[in-house]
Amino acid sequence: MQSLFRQGAEQMRAGNAAAAEAAFRKATELDPAFAPAQLDLGLAQLKEGKLLEAIASIRKSLELDPSSPGAHLFLGIAEYQSNNSDGALRDLHLAIKEDPKNVQALTWIGIVELNAGHPELASEPLDRAAELAPTDENVLDYRVQAHMAVAKQSYTALYKVDPASWRLHRLNAVIDAQADDHKGAITEYQSAIKLAPNDAELYEGMGWEYRKLGQADEAAKAFAEQLRLSPGNPIAMYNLGSAQVDSGHEREALPLLEQVVKIYNHPTGADYYLGRALAAEGKEDDAIAAFKRATTLEGEMQRRAWYQLSQTYRHLGKTADARQAALKYEQLKKAADEASAKEVEDWRKLNAANAAAVSNSGQQ
């Protein structure tokens, strides 16, 4: 029996499913009540595309041992490939019940639901699979497909409800923004605002699109409307204050940013912009304190804070402190540049692999 199992496993690894099937079949003949032999026979048959035989063998293994490891997963796959989506989902969910962290089972549930026209039911298991296997390209691929399909469904439903809805313009603005068409996004936000002039979020979205185009003055105007429509909103106060700093109106920004920093009571991007406003008003000591708080953040804002801190120290003649802050900025910038280069290279490799896969598929 052990020899037959070893022979079957070797043949499966070698890609010779027919020879593996023969070995596992002999094992089932030696001991018809041995569940692992029935399961491995089913896997070999599944590999060969003998779906009905594979289903029968895997079901037999479950009859012999209801807890047969992996049986429900592979039975679900075979049933799905046999166009039995309901049966596939039943067994795949049983596989999840046995092991809630089974990435393969979660992924296959997503695949089955997606191809059954239920992307909204596919998204949740694929999200869970992505949490468990964040670098699995197959999982990420299907997850993107599911969420895009859900978005398309929602867009279609929204259009049917009201083809002239301002919400459609906002959705188009988001789509344009994601495609880096910031001018197009602004146009869509403007159209939405004509239909819903009292929606603060529309002004916020438009303001950020202006910022991405480097038009800080226009951004400040949009954020001013956001704040007018949502007075006391610290997010709107931060948006307006930071845009005013970027557009050179630090004095106007100062009271807004001071309020935001007081409300949040922990380091945020508001500390960075408050530091810039204070420095512009000649309050260097207070600016240094604000920049120091901002250096505890992560990412771009942290790097900016170290840079501004070095400039403020230099303006005060504190050469050693300026040099130390500048060195920290350079270290963080170098690390960020290296991480960005690696990400670009990873994307290049992924795209090359996808192109090769498509090419190979077309040649078969």
Sequence ranges of the domains in the chain: 2-156, 162-252, 266-336
- pLDDT, position 360: 47
- pLDDT, position 178: 86
Q: 187-209, pLDDT tens digit by residue? A: 999 999 999 999 999 999 999 99
- Match domain 266-336 to its CATH number in 3.30.200.20, 3.30.420.40, 1.20.272.10, 1.25.40.10: 1.25.40.10
Superfamily of domain 2-156: Tetratricopeptide repeat domain (1.25.40.10)
- pLDDT, position 316: 95
- pLDDT, position 250: 97
- Write b or e for each residue in 230-267: b if 16 or more Cβ atoms lie within 10 A of its Cβ, otherwise e: beebbebbbbbbbbbbbbebbebbbebbbbbbeeeeeb
- For residue 334, the SS3 value is helix
Place of tokens 């089932």: 28
Is the full-model pTM beyond 0.75? no
- pLDDT, position 359: 47
- pLDDT, position 165: 87
CATH class of 162-252: mainly alpha
Please tell me the distance from the alpha carbon of residue 103 to that of residue 173, in angstroms, as a whole number.
35
- pLDDT, position 34: 82
Residue type, 139: V
- pLDDT, position 205: 97
Asked if 51 contacts 78 with a C-beta cutoff of 8 angstroms, the reply is yes
- Write b or e for each residue in 32-68: b if 16 or more Cβ atoms lie within 10 A of its Cβ, otherwise e: eebbbbbbbbbbbbbbeebbebbbebbbbbbebbeeb
- pLDDT, position 152: 83
Nearest partner of 54 among 29, 31, 81, judged by Cα:
81
Place of tokens 């691929």: 141
Phi, psi (rounded to 5 degrees) for 363: -85, -15
- pLDDT, position 349: 63
Series of mean pLDDT values for 10-residue runs along the chain (364 residues): 71 80 82 84 86 91 90 92 93 94 95 94 96 92 92 83 87 90 96 96 97 97 98 96 97 97 96 98 97 96 96 96 96 90 69 53 42
- Whats the size of the chain, residue-wise? 364
Distance between terminal CA atoms of the chain?
A: 38
- pLDDT, position 15: 81
Please tell me the distance from the alpha carbon of residue 279 to that of residue 39, in angstroms, as a whole number.
72
| Residues 6 or more apart in contact with residue 224 via CB below 8 angstroms | 240
| Residues 6 or more apart in contact with residue 222 via CB below 8 angstroms | 203, 204, 206, 207, 210
Look over the chain and give the mean of its residue pLDDT values, rounded to a whole number: 90
- CA 32 to each of CA 58, 61, 88: distance values in angstroms, whole numbers, following the listed order: 13, 10, 26
